[in-house]
Structures are given as C-alpha cells and as structure tokens.
C-alpha cells in the first residue's frame, strides 16, 4: 500500500513539475487567484518537494517552497506541522484537501491548491494502467514505432548510469585500499570469481590476504593455493595427501606473515551450484590467474581487445582441481577451465567498471567511449530479462545493448518508475 501511495504522490510531483493541469481560473481553496511564475526546482533530498518557486497569490508575489501531497492530512501524518524546515512553504498542492486546513509551526495559515477536476482523466487512467503488473514493462501495450525511436537515447542514459554506479563501487574500494590500484584490481577480480553466490565471501578472502603477500609466491602455484585455501578456511581437516601438503605449506606461511584471521567453511555457499562452479574450483582458478599475471591493473585495464582478455581470463586450474570438485572428492569427468561465458561475464561486470573507475580517478570525465567499445565487442547476455526485451522488438546483439536493457528494466521498469524514464514521461504527456 505504501508503494502505491508513493507512486500516486510521484504522479502529482510530475503534474506540478511540468504544469500538466488546467490553469484557467486557478484559485486557492480560500478563493485567491493563483498564477505560477515558476513552479520551483524539484527537490529529491529532504525538505519541501519544490524549492524557490515564484507564485502570484491574490495579487501578491511569493518566493518560497511548494509541498505536494495526495491529501492535506498527509502534512500532519508526515509531521511537517512540527518541522520549521516547512515554514517556508508558500503553497500546499494536493489532489484533495478533504476540508482540512493547514498552518505552519507558528500557527500562520498556508494556502492550498486542489488539483481535483483540473487534470485530464485520460492521463490519470493511463498512469494507473501503467502501474499495473500485468505486463513485463508498464508501457509495452503502448509501444508504437514512433515511441521505439526514443529507446536508444533512454537506453544510453540507462547504461551510463549503470556503469557509473559500478565504477563508484570500485572507487570506494580504491579509497579503502589507501588508493592502491593494484590491490583494488586484485580484490575486484577475486570478488568476481564468486559470481553471484559467493561474491562477498571472495571479497572477504581477498581483503584478508593482500596481493603483496601472494606476489612473493607468484612463481609457486602450490604456495598460492596453500595461502588462498588456508585463509579461505578449507584446510582444517585433511582428507587426502594433497590437502595435507597444502596445510603444511599454509602453516609455515601463516606464521611467516602473521595471518591470524581466516574464513569459516560456513561462509561458502553451494546451493544450486554445479561442481565446476564450486568455490574450491573458483579459488584454484584464481590461484592460477595470480600465478600467470604479473600485474593485474596493467594486464586488465590496459588491453582493449576483448578476445585477448577472454584468453587471459580462461585459466586452467591445477591438475588436482581438474579431477576433483572438493578435497578428497573425485570428479567422474574432467573439470574444464573457466568457460568463455564466465570470462565474458568477468569482463562485463568487473573489468569494464574497473577500467571506468581507473579513468575517473585521473579525471577522465569526457565520455564512456573506452568501456562502450569493449562492451560492443562482446555478445549480448542471455537471460530472461534480455529475452523479454527481444520479444518486444528491441535489437540486442552486443553486451553494450544487453547491459543497457538490464539497467533500464532494473532501474525504471521493474518498479514502475515511469515518470523518471524518457519513454514513460513522453507517453504520459497530455495530448495537445
């Protein structure tokens, strides 16, 4: 219910922002003539909804803020009558006052404007229809060839937002790492080896085991595995000779580097994972990647050829992990190297944001061209959301297009945030 109310209030914001209501003979509830000189600036932060509006009310010019609710009672429900930040409100815009009067904290009255009867009901009905959950996206039954022409611009906007959000997460990690790019590149790559299920646990592992320690043993794959599996909490009980060997190596290295903290086995998740995706296999592949990669940042940020990046990421784990899916657990079939689809996933969700974050750290604000070029070299992801977009007639052939479509759905369509979308706001524009 709260979500529905919020969407209804958002619709009133939209009407006021673009002045989509009948303004002839516009009067307050008290009968004063109203002329909107400027509706104010939409405020998405705390405080009144529209700031610094200019209004003529009863022949007097007012400079102040505008607050918007469905009903007057919402002013009191939100405790604005007790908040001095709302004393500068000069007009309260509502769908209906329901006969309730309004005042500031000092008791002075606030003029109110009702929109009931001033809004084209076809516009209201169209918005209410778009809020229903019958369709994959709210506007799919309204998509004409003319409307589809505006999709590229909206999708470009969605992709830019998606990339900036992901890059901001990398920048945050970079700051926590005391502005060390090599450590950050290692951590985001380690995190990505957990994919969706073990993403956080892999990051926890990388943060407990700095890259500077691993680099000291880069030419010894056995020691890299000992460190990663040891800090990962996999070496407490030896089930075979190989695990015993790793445990012995780890005890020596643990004492040498003072590695007191380790993860617990319970932190690793196996639900709905096939053996090739088990965390042990992914850790072994990460160890191999560290073994063959002298510099993470230079290797994965400098190369712009997607095919070469895929080759570098498609690492083959050590012989033991080609025949085992867990310590002491032999696989009936040989476990292959990191797959091409997984490598492409790493590029899309890890290397692209890493690259953009790196550019941003040096003031690279010009455009998204370097990451767009990389995404356009990769084929589109294959999932339910992308396939639904294709069914609506959207052309999705590259990762650039699929990432745009995914963000468009997750950011705007899934929660029916049509008023923030170029397509939705255009469809809801009153017909002249």
Q: How far apart are CA 29 and CA 37, in angstroms?
A: 19
CA distance 301 to 312: 12
pLDDT exceeds cutoff 90 at 403: yes
Average pLDDT, the chain: 90
* Predicted pLDDT at 416: 83
- The answer on pLDDT for 348 being more than 70 is yes
Helices 352-361 & 151-176 angle (0-180, nearest 10): 70
The whole-number average pLDDT for the span 233-261 is 94
Higher-pLDDT residue of 337, 101: 337
Q: What is the pLDDT of residue 255?
A: 95
Q: Supply the pLDDT for residue 5.
A: 54
Listed in sequence order, the residues at least 6 apart from 400 whose beta carbon sits closer than 8 Å to its beta carbon are 159, 372, 375, 376
| pLDDT > 90: percent of the chain | 61
Please list, in sequence order, all residues whose beta carbon lies within 8 angstroms of the beta carbon of residue 132, skipping any fewer than 6 positions away: 138
Q: Give the highest mean pLDDT range of 28-32, 78-82, 220-224, 370-374.
A: 220-224
The answer to whether residue 2 scores a pLDDT higher than 50 is no
pLDDT for 3: 43
Average pLDDT estimate for 427-432: 72
Euclidean distance between CA atoms 253 and 264, whole angstroms:
19
In sequence order, which residues have a C-beta less than 8 Å from that of residue 378 and are 6 or more positions away?
A: 306, 344, 347, 348, 398, 399
Between 365 and 198, name the one with better pLDDT. Answer: 198
pLDDT of residue 366: 60
CB-count exposure of residue 363 (10 Å: 0-12, 13-18, 19+): exposed
Residues 56-85: tens digit of each pLDDT: 999 999 999 999 999 999 999 999 988 888
Percent of the chain topping pLDDT 70: 97
Residue 294 CA to residue 215 CA, distance in Å, equals: 8
Pick the range with the lowest mean pLDDT from 82-91, 135-144, 344-353, 383-392: 135-144
- Condensed to tens digits (0 to 9), the pLDDT of residues 90-144 reads 999 999 888 888 888 888 889 999 998 898 888 888 787 777 767 888 888 777 7
In the predicted structure, residue 355 carries a pLDDT above the cut 50 = yes
- pLDDT at 432 exceeding the cut of 90: no
Which residues, in sequence order, are bridge partners of residue 40?
Answer: none
State residue 364's pLDDT score. Answer: 63
The residue among 330 and 367 whose pLDDT is bigger is 330
Q: Please determine, for residue 45, whether its predicted confidence score (pLDDT) is greater than 90.
A: no
Band of the pLDDT at 7, cuts 50, 70, 90? low
3-state secondary structure at position 94 = strand
pLDDT tens digit sequence for 268-293? 999 889 999 999 999 999 999 999 99
């Amino acid at each position: 219910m709260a979500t529905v109310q919020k969407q209804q209030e958002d619709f009133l914001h939209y009407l006021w922002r673009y002045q989509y209501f009948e303004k002839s003979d516009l009067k307050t509830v008290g009968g004063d003539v109203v002329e909107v000189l400027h509706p104010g600036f939409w405020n998405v932060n705390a405080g009144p909804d529209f700031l610094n509006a200019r209004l003529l009310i009863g022949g007097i010019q007012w400079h102040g803020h505008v607050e918007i609710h469905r009903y007057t009672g919402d002013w009191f429900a939100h405790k604005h009558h007790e908040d001095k930040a709302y004393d500068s409100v000069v007009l309260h815009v509502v769908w209906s006052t329901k006969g309730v009067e309004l005042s500031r904290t000092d008791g002075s009255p606030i003029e109110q404007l009702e929109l009931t009867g001033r809004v084209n009901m076809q516009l209201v009905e169209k918005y209410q229809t778009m809020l229903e959950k019958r369709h994959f996206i709210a506007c799919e039954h309204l998509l004409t060839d003319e409307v589809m022409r505006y999709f590229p611009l909206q999708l470009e906007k969605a992709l830019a937002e998606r990339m900036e959000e992901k890059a901001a997460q990398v920048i945050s990690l970079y700051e926590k790492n005391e502005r060390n790019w090599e450590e950050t590149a290692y951590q985001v790559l380690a995190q990505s080896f957990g994919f969706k299920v073990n993403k956080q646990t892999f990051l926890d592992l990388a943060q407990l085991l700095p890259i500077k320690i691993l680099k000291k043993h880069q030419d010894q794959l056995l020691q890299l595995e000992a460190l990663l599996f040891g800090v990962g909490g996999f070496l407490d009980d030896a089930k075979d000779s190989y695990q015993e060997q790793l445990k012995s190596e780890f005890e020596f290295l643990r004492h040498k580097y003072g590695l007191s903290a380790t993860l617990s086995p319970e932190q690793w998740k196996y639900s709905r994972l096939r053996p090739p995706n088990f965390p042990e296999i992914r850790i072994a592949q990460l160890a191999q990647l560290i073994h063959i990669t002298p510099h993470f940042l230079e290797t994965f940020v400098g190369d712009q050829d997607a095919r070469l990046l895929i080759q570098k990421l498609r690492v083959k784990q050590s012989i033991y992990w080609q025949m085992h899916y867990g310590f002491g657990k032999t696989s009936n079939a040989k476990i292959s190297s990191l797959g091409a689809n997984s490598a492409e996933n790493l590029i899309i969700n890890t290397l692209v944001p890493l690259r953009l974050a790196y550019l941003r750290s040096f003031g690279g604000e010009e455009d998204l061209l370097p990451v767009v070029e990389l995404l356009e070299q990769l084929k589109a992801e294959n999932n339910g959301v992308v396939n639904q977009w294709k069914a609506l007639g959207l052309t999705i052939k590259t990762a650039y297009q699929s990432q745009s479509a995914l963000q468009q759905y997750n950011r705007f369509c899934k929660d029916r945030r049509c008023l923030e979308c170029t397509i939705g706001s255009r469809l809801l524009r009153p017909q002249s």
